[in-house]
Amino acid sequence: MRNFDRRDFLRFAGAASALSLAACATPGGGKGRVVVIGGGYGGATAAKYIRLWDPGIDVVMVERESFFTSCPMSNLVIGGHRRIEEIRRDYAGLHRHGVQVVNDEATAVDGAKRVVKLARGGDLPYDRLIVSPGIDFMFGDIDGYAAAMAGGRVIHAWKAGPQTSALRSSLERMRDGGVYVLSIPPSPYRCPPGPYERASQVASYFKSAKPRSKVLILDANPDVTSKGPLFKRAWQDLYPGMIEYRGNAKAVAIDAASMAVRTEFDTVSGDVLNVVPPHRAGDIAVKAGLITHNNRWCEVDWRTCESKAVKGIHVLGDATLSAPGMPKSGHMTNSQAKVCAAAVVALINGQAPNPAPVMNNTCYSFVSANEVIHVASVHQWNAGQATIIPVKGAGGVSTARNQLEADYAWSWAQNIWADMFA
């Protein structure tokens, strides 16, 4: 099954251009058109569920990549336990649900006229817009980062794809006895346990292939930000002497020539530099005027995920200003997307959205090839606080790392990808 291609788009846009922008927001004669920017955890889920819950609504999803590569499970590729092909999916399933997938980049949004502009030309009018662009990096916060990255001397691998493969190749090329440096930005960043899972995966590779090598974690945060005791126990038991953890060690500069990372207190050198820069909502959120907090994040009303800055636009996932206790995760984003999809369907049908939605999260982390720990939480709208907050007593963490959860974790991935795309 093919995606909505350039020729279809031109035909579609051509037909629509005969009408005024306002009128052509519902070109199929349906109830209305929702445009979705981003086909990741938030966008793909929202696009599919709107079509499932109301096939009378036209849904057009704009995604610049031609297939999806998952950040969750990408650390297993870096550790050598999975292949990158196993964490990819295509958009054919969405097409079967009647989502029109446009393989292009959204370059601008006119919130007043309700139009999205595309890189290859053409306007997409909408009745409601859902923006789930993930993150972009604040490279300027670390001196020398951009030049070092251009020269292939530093990798973030915090967006899955070519950088994931590049990091894996660097580790394979590294000499036994070398040092892998992982620098973690200050919270909030996407996937709180993700960096510690990555350190575990790299150590698991070193243990079997390069046992004299070392993992050095430079964490801008004072301590491990998620599942701390479980990660530290795993490092002690499984990789004794291999992982060194330094808290309050924020990267401020990179010297590509000497392969060194400077923190506020000292300078360390490594053979592989994996420095994750601080991030903010993806560029299109900036261009659409959706950023409201700290020049970084988009505030939304969590009952509908509608932007507090621009009416008619909903924002999902890592781009949002998280509610209290809410992690930036794929699972959380998938949950937000369903709340948003239900609200958009209700609003387009002239109904009131659910006044007290519930969301949930589970994050599994592989501490070795076959042992996993998890953290889970449930979040519900609280009218008194006018936000969504964790439900007391719901959720928690694993009591200890175990192999059963490795099966659960890989199944979680298969299921959430099916939920998004199948």
Ligand X SMILES: Cc1cc2nc3c(=O)[nH]c(=O)nc-3n(C[C@H](O)[C@H](O)[C@H](O)COP(=O)(O)OP(=O)(O)OC[C@H]3O[C@@H](n4cnc5c(N)ncnc54)[C@H](O)[C@@H]3O)c2cc1C
Sites of contact with ligand X (CB under 6 A): 37-43, 62-65, 71-72, 74-75, 105-106, 132-134, 158, 190-191, 194, 282, 284, 316-319, 328-331, 333, 363-364
Closest to ligand X by CB, 75 or 204: 75
For the CB of residue 184, give the shortest distance to ligand X in the complex, in Å: 11
Contact 43, 418 (CB under 8 A): no
Q: 30 or 312, CB closer to ligand X?
A: 312
Strands (E), 146-247: 154-155, 179-184, 214-219, 243-246
* SS3 at position 165: helix
The distance of closest approach from Cβ of residue 228 to ligand X in the complex, given in angstroms and rounded to an integer, is: 17
Complex with ligand X: residue 40 or 144, whichever CB lies closer: 40
Q: Report the C-alpha gap between 118 and 51 in whole angstroms.
A: 23
75-102 b/e (C-beta count within 10 Å ≥ 16 → b):
bbbbbbbbebeebebebebbbebebbbb
The residue among 63 and 219 lying less far from ligand X, judged by its C-beta, is 63
Task: Name the minimum Å distance from CB 118 to ligand X.
Answer: 8
Number of C-beta neighbours around residue 53 at 10 A: 15
CB nearer ligand X, residue 158 or residue 302: 158
Minimum separation from the CB atom of position 212 to ligand X (A): 26
Give the shortest CB-89-to-ligand X separation in angstroms. Answer: 11
Classify residue 37 as exposed, middle or buried by CB count within 10 Å of its CB (0-12, 13-18, 19+).
Answer: buried
CB closer to ligand X out of 49 and 364: 364
Q: How far is the CB of 40 from ligand X (least distance, A)?
A: 2
Quote the least distance from Cβ 407 to ligand X, whole Å: 15
Token pair for residue 236? Answer: 């002690």
Q: Whole-number minimum distance, CB 194 to ligand X, in Å?
A: 4
The angle formed by the CA atoms of residues 351, 43 and 34, to the nearest 5 degrees, is 45
DSSP-derived secondary structure letter, 394: S
Instruction: Report the 10 Å Cβ neighbour count for 103.
Output: 19
Q: Which of 285, 289, 286, 254 is nearest to 272 (CA)?
A: 254
Residue 403 burial (10 A CB sphere; 0-12, 13-18, 19+): exposed
Residue number with CB closer to ligand X (403 or 415): 415
Instruction: Return the structure tokens found at 212.
Output: 């004299």
User: Nearer to ligand X by C-beta: 106 or 268?
Assistant: 106
3-class secondary structure, 388: strand
**Residue number of the CB atom closest to ligand X:** 40
